């Protein structure tokens, strides 16, 4: 499970769609207090930050739309009310995330 801390427009098709799928799973765990992956570091860092997770989803949706893709799985914004709109915590630094993606040899736009 991973939500990247890079701009959605930098992610290749594979990583953008995978993150979108995982974000929905993470949202479900947090909103419905499910046990699966409850203690995963990625899950724990989003506890109390559903507004930030919602905003990340909206960034993904904008990027998907920009690429001409359909999106049919909105999140309920009302469930994100009253929580932090930022996510300052990271499991891995941005540099580590870029290195991780670079090692995959994908089409992510990672710069030099």
- Give the global pTM: 0.94
User: What's the alpha-carbon Rg for the chain, to the nearest Å?
Assistant: 14
pLDDT in tens, 5-22: 999 999 999 999 999 999
Q: Is pLDDT of 106 > 70? A: yes
Q: What are the residue ranges spanned by the domains of the chain?
A: 8-104
Q: What pLDDT band is residue 1 in, cutting at 50, 70 and 90? A: confident
**What's the CA angle centered on 13, arms 93 and 69, to 5 degrees?**
125
Instruction: Give 62-88 pLDDT, tens digit per residue.
Output: 999 999 999 999 999 999 977 789 999
CA angle 24, 37, 89 (to 5 degrees): 75
Q: Name the one residue in this structure whose structure tokens are 């506890």.
A: 47
């Amino acid at each position: 499970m991973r939500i990247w801390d890079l701009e959605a427009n930098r992610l290749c098709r594979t990583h953008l769609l995978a993150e979108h799928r995982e974000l929905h799973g993470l949202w479900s765990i947090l909103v419905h207090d499910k046990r699966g992956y409850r203690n995963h570091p990625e899950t724990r860092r989003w506890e109390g930050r559903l507004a930030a997770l919602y905003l990340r989803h909206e960034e993904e949706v904008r990027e998907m739309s920009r690429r001409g893709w359909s999106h049919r799985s909105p999140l309920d914004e009302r469930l994100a009310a009253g929580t932090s709109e930022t996510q300052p915590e990271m499991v891995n630094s941005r540099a580590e995330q870029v290195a991780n993606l670079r090692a995959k040899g994908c089409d992510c736009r990672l710069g030099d």
